[in-house]
Structure 1
């Protein structure tokens, strides 16, 4: 997946910033190292809970080149296939990314509920979320 911009809703950018602090010495409060890591969790959680939201006012947060071809791209392709139920979707990187963005846009609200709105440290809440959704 090369040379495509990854977008989120502008109004959700602050939430991404709240959970991602590159180089932070405090992972308890900032459990995600990169925007991509948070995007992947939000997309998977959005797909799992059928929470798909079209992006209304877009803001690019990173380039698709950061997706790992062996780990991230197959997950995104699986999410697209789950939604569309047609194999040809696997050949359309733009459509795969559009679907992932919609799931991440819906899923980020679930991330907020589970990680920020629950009592406790965000890192502990993230671990609990991952364990309950394995």
Structure 2
């Protein structure tokens, strides 16, 4: 089972790099670029929408949202661009994963705003 999980993780990483290069390809359709850019930015972000320390829900984005986004993005990109991007992804697999600190900052800000709103709601309701 552990070997299967490692294989799936490697495949997911390869697909993310493929999408990363497809996003950067000048002939990718606009809708594919927008959707793929969001998927790649979220997957490479050091911050999750649902933090992993939240039981069960924390891993939903890693187990459902990211693979679903990858699947949809792969369907939006023409096969010729995907082939070229897969080749570039294989070359890049040995290098470290790029981080998207802008997206990470956005998710941190979302959590801060949500925390403030919940705190204000609880303060008003109970005090």
- Work out whether the TM-score is over 0.5: no
Looking at CA atoms only, which structure, 1 or 2, has the larger radius of gyration?
2
More helix by share: 2
TM-score (norm: length of structure 2): 0.31
TM-score (norm: length of structure 1): 0.30
